[in-house]
Structure formats: structure tokens, C-alpha cells
A and B are shown apart, each in its own frame.
Chain A
Amino acid sequence: MIHFDNVTKTYTNQGRPALENVNLDVEKGEFVFLVGPSGSGKSTFLRLVLKEERPTSGRIHVAGRDLARLTNWKVPQLRRRIGCVFQDFRLLPNKNVYQNIAFALEVIGKPRRFIRKVVPEVIDLVGLEGKRDRMPDELSGGEQQRVAMARAFVNRPMILLADEPTGNIDPATSIGIMKVLDRINRTGTTVVMATHDAAIVDSMRKRVIELEYGKVVRDQSRGVYGQAY
């Protein structure tokens, strides 16, 4: 589903590469934790998958497409197959829960009937029944992140990228968030989650890829956050 072949990314004006000779494969339906200290290249990895950045060298395949050969005007089609969740939620403050989720479908031209049908379904899936008319500032952090996940998932993407989704949320609420991610993963969606949260990684026992200074230093199925010797 995601295939990195000897990928190096060096930002201009920076000496050390953000990612260096990264080789990895993420299969369809996998749940992968991306761990590592700040500046280790986790965000660069996610940006490369979205084609927000291009690699300095190496090849990237996402959802069966060679990103180097994907023309700019086809990038939106790629992004429709990838959902994104961020630490800061990125909800529209002037739209309620339902409108925030529907917005993701409206802007890719989905018909109104379809939107009316699928948005309530996904609101149920993330556990926000009865809160569809709330504005973002009326919701807790955990609830806002659920809205963001619903928005990311409403178009049934093949891949869900989550960049520290529990970073602004207390541990108790984070468990709920992880349950939703797990539920999404069980529908067959590949989930890649960058995180610093050791407790979550340790409890989930999923594949762990650790980056350090832009290199993959560990790739372990059913891993834990800390170094396993």
C-alpha cells in the first residue's frame, strides 16, 4: 500500500537529510506506529506519502501509484484515497460537526443525497451520536479529534495517516481515540500513526517503525515504544 524504495529527502538550506535511504513497505490493512524523537523524520514521511513534498531521490509508491509519475493535477485523486488526522484537529470553527464532515465530501463534488446518507453513519462510527449540531468550541479535545477522524474517514480512504492524534489529549481520552482508529483499521483501512505516546504503542502491540536522524533504526511487528533488546 505504501512502498518506499531508498528514499532520501533533503530540504533546501539544510545539511542533514530529513530522511535518508529509507526502505519500507506497509501492506494493505496494516496498523503501523511511526515513532522517534522530534525531527527524526516522521512528519516528512507523512508529507511524502501525501505528495506535499517530493523526495530528493528514491521512489515512492502509494496505493499502487508511482508518485514521481503522478502529475500535479492528479494529486487530488491520490489524496482522496488518504485520510489525515492531526494533533491540532484542524476543524473549521464556523461549521458544526455535521458540516465539518460534510465539507470534505462537498469539496470533492459528492452528491447531496450521498452526503446525507454517509455523514450520520460515520458520526455513529466515531461515537458522536447526538452531537452533530455542536460547534467545535462546544466539544472537548477528544470529541474534536473524533470529528477530525470522521472527516478523514468519511470518504472511505485506503490509508489513514495520523500525525500525533493523541498529542493534545489526556491519556484516558486517548484510549477512546485509539479504539476509533482500531475500528477504522478493522474496516480494511491501512493506518499509519506517528506518535510519542509510549503507553499507547505498548498497549496496542502493533507494528512499530522507529526513525532516528532520518533513518529507520527499528522495524518490528507487534513492537513496543522503547528499544527492545
Chain B
Amino acid sequence: MRAQFVFHEVWIGLRRNLTMTVALVVVVAISLSLLGTGLLFVKQVDNTRQFWQSRVQLSVYLCTKSELGGTCAKNGAVTLAEENSIKNELEATHDVASIQFVSQRAAVKQFREEFASDEPIVKYTASSQIPPSFEIRLKNTEADAGPVSSVMDGAPGVSGVIDDASILDQFYRLLDSARNAVVIIAIFLLVAAIMLVANTIRLSAFNRRRETSIMRLVGASNFYVQLPFLMEGLIAGLIGWLVATGLLIGAKSLLLSSLRSVFPVGVQLSTADLIEVIIVAMILGLLICGSTSFLTLRRYLRV
């Protein structure tokens, strides 16, 4: 095989078809990067879901002196007797796997650690404002928190019950719909990319009909006749993929930083995830461009 000859032909083809080639590269790049972003979203959701699944719990916050929610306004800060009766009631409730009491001192310590970077908040929050709580883990992490809430809501000394899962659900819904939107756009663009590949190859075949007719006449093998066209599609796909890779690397850092600002803990996307997505995008891009070129060629360059 004369590689130099084939590449020369490919170069001529790409150059003669410059506008089509550029359009193809742009569409492939955008569709692949959108699809990649969608995949990154999926990975992100999976990662956080795993991370939080093991940590999801119910928090039963108890009254402090300054707290006004629940029964607190009437009764004031929680008493030791109230704490004990709450604990007993929780232990008797179906579905509760473990109960952990977080004293006010422990809660203050944790609060100061989590907001260490945000000095004013720490400074202006009095220790007495941080409520002690019972952290409850359910036997089944996906179960409804209803029974516990109904027992605890309004019990003396309880200011409120917060189910972590309900917070996470909102977060997941946000991620899921963002992902769906991105993937749907990507699919439309991929369809456009397929049609563009077909059109580019068709134009290219038309531009070079003299050459190909002579090639067929003097007995060039199908491989030789079709390879330059196939390569044209593949090279455009490859360049599109390279651009998409750049966009994805940008998207990853952007996505991460914006998610971090909304949801500070447990949001992680490793480089390995990114590489995986980029490889998937490459395979998909080459597959789409290659197979479309090949199928188009079979129609326009019959022996």
C-alpha cells in the first residue's frame, strides 16, 4: 500500500471540501462534547448517590433556648428527661437501625470544622444556637422516613425533623433533568453529524468522479478507491473528537466548580472518569463517521 499516495488524496479531498469539512468538524465536536457532558453528569450522579446512600440519615433536632420551631417556643431548651423519652420512643419505632446522640458541644465542634473557611459565620454564631440532635439511620436507606417523622413531630423538646434524603432528591432531580436535556441535544446533533458525513462524502465523491472512474478502469482495488474517502470521514471525526476533548476538559472543571458551590461535600469527578468519557466519545465519533462514510461509499462508488 502506498501510504503517501493515500494521504495525498485525503488531503486533496479535505481541502476541496473545506467548508463541508469545517462544518462536519464543528458539529462532531459539539455533539461529542455535549454527549460527554451528559455522561459526566451520569457519573456525577452515580458518584454522589453512592457517597450519600451510606450517609443518609434523619436528624431530629432538639430545642435550644433561642429556637422557636416545634414545641420549643413554649417549653424552652430541651431537658434531660425529654431527651431520654425521645430516645426511648425512637428505639421503639419500627425501621430504626441506629440512634446516635450528638450533644450540643459535639455539634458546635462539627459546625466549626465544616465552616472553618467561613470565619464570620463561625464568629457570629453563638454556641447556644447550635442544637443538639439525634442522628438516626434507617434499616432500609431507601425507606420512607414517614413513621419517624410522625412520631417525632410535635414531641416535647423536638424542634424539627429533617430527612437528608429529601434534600438529596432535589439535587438528583436537578442533575437528572440537566443530563436529559444535554443528552437529547447531543442526540439531535449526532443525527445532524451523520447526515453531514454522508453529504461530505457524497460531495467528495462527486468532486473526484474523474479520478475514481479512472481508478476503477485501471483496476484499483475497492480498498484503494474507497480508502481516501473513508479516511476523510475518519479524519474529520478525529479532529472533531480532539476539539470535543478540549471542551470536555473545560466542561469538567466548570461543572465541578459550579456543583461544588451548590453542594459542598461529596462532589467528585476523577480524572479517570473524564478519560473514560473521552474514550467513549472517541469510539462513538470514529464509529459514526467511519460507518456513515463506508455506507455512503457503497452507494456512490460501486465497482
Contacts and interface: CB of A to CB of B under 8 A. Distances in A.
B214 A92 contact: yes
A155 B218 CA distance: 9
B210 A80 contact: no
B219 A76 contact: yes
Interface string A130-164: 00000000000000000000011001000000000
Interface string A63-81: 0000000001101111111
B111 interface: no
Interface residues of A, number: 26
Interface in B180-238: 210-211, 213-222, 224-225
A108 B222 contact: no
Given A90-B213, A104-B214, A107-B215, A76 B221 contact: yes
Contacts, number: 60
A73 B224 CA distance: 12
Nearest to B220: A107
Contact of A79 (B210, B211, B219): B219
Contacts of B225: 107
B213, B218, B221, B224, most chain A CB atoms within 10 A: B218
Contact of A151 (B1, B211, B218, B224): B218
B210, B215, B217, B220, most chain A CB atoms within 10 A: B217
A84 interface: yes
A92 B220 CA distance: 16
Please classify the interface of chain B as helix (H, G, I), strand (E, B), loop, or mixed, using the class held by over half of its residues: helix
B211 A92 contact: yes
A15 interface: no
Contacts of A108: 218-221, 224
B5 interface: yes
B2 interface: yes
Contacts of B220: 76, 107-108
A82 B219 CA distance: 9
Given A106-B2, A107-B215, A76 B222 contact: yes
A92 B213 CA distance: 11
A184 B303 CA distance: 27
A104 B218 contact: yes
Nearest to B1: A109
Contacts of A151: 214, 218
A109 B303 contact: no
Contacts of A90: 210, 213-214, 217
Contact of B217 (A77, A79, A81, A93): A79
Contacts of A93: 210
Nearest to A84: B217
A36 B303 CA distance: 28
Interface of B: 1-2, 5, 210-211, 213-222, 224-225, 303
Interface of A: 50, 72-73, 75-84, 90, 92-93, 103-104, 106-109, 112, 151-152, 155
Given A79-B219, A84-B217, 15 more contacts: A75-B303, A76-B221, A76-B303, A82-B219, A92-B214, A93-B210, A103-B214, A104-B214, A104-B218, A107-B5, A107-B218, A107-B220, A108-B220, A109-B1, A109-B224
Q: Sorted from nearest, which 5 A-B pairs have the closest CB atoms? A: A80-B219, A79-B219, A107-B220, A104-B218, A76-B219
